[in-house]
Chains A and B, each alone.
Chain A
Amino acid sequence: MNKLEIKNLTKSYGNKNANNNITITLENGVYGLLGPNGAGKTTLMKQIATLIKPTTGEIIYNGKNIYSIEDEYRGVIGYLPQEFGVYKNFSAKSFLQYIAALKGLAKREANKKIDELLNVVGLYDVRNKAIGKFSGGMKRRVGIAQVLLNDPKIIILDEPTAGLDPQERTRFRNLLSAISKDKIIILSTHIISDIESIAKETIMIKDGEMIMKGSHREILSDMNGKVYRIRTNDENQLAEIQSKYKVVNLQRGIDFTELRIVSDEAIPYVNAQVMEPKFEDVYMFYFDLENTKEV
């Protein structure tokens, strides 16, 4: 069993805290990291990937501070950054060979693993083509393959499905689910359905602070009684609702307009009906995008 403990982690840039006193314990399974842009997700992931050092606090892997076992720790992580880059003049195969060398894999073992992963991500037939000629989605798949090269125990994925088509996304989610049994997978994404379908737990971050961590059931149960549906054909009421409440969805029909809103307070409209919460509602409830601070 792998265990990653993040204790009182704070990362400051001048007076701003990109992460503020975050404490989480992660064990095998997929963890979804949810938060608006600038919430501090990438900063947290970069610290877990040893790209930046915490200002205060520590990260402990299996009982040891990661900076006391730096190279050993890096040997068990796989990281896909949000801005995944490649050498455009390298072929997919030679780029993965380079990454395998970075990860300390022996040549023969690396070549075997590379062929296997190129098959998994559907790039085997174009393995000798320069990556510069690949589409965004294909490059992303190279990125996913490089993460898995060293059979990592901790996988850190920052927006991994950006640029993938729906079919590729499904394949990727299935792949993550299949390998998550003995790994800690930290997945940051804006695509809520990705988190809904594979994450064991979701960690919600806002303004650099962790505001909630729990399973879907726990998080959704917390939203019970806070999600409403209102059907109306009164334009004045529609405008009033939109100005007062967080609207998750607005659908104009022929006879009426249907609104899905989230609110902590009881809704004073007779036509409001309490609905079963969805993950989208949670996102809207916690992340008031207009008030989100960029860090």
Chain B
Amino acid sequence: MPVTININGVDHSIDATPDTPLLWALRDSLELTGTKFGCGMALCGACTVHVDGAPVRSCTTPISTVAGKKVTTIEGIGTKEAKAVQAAWEQHAVAQCGYCQSGQIMSAAALLQSNPRPSDEDIDQAMSGNICRCATYVRIRAAIKSAAASLA
């Protein structure tokens, strides 16, 4: 029985078992590969997407639980916070290998939506679920602050 999910504003009927993680529906069924596989256990944040505006780890989210909800991926993110975050990421040359950065940007955009002026502690708390093995953390902090300043 296909599951219908609204992804980036469009309804998609996905022909996969209900337990299929949203991550693999996005990547294998819809070819939206900007959302990354890192751990499969919601430990690294590389798969972060927004479900009804809130950051969610798609690798442990069965598609049956997001039927009828609005899913936004890095390919469809268009909020002013997300645009500011992406611009700040470029300005600070945050990305190195880049593999985790879709997830970092989705988490950062969600942070700014709920907290327009985050402190270092707020940033550390909101972003500690997103691992970056290149350790671009110093620039992530700086870029989030720049993005916040640009929106003020």
Whether chains A and B associate is: no
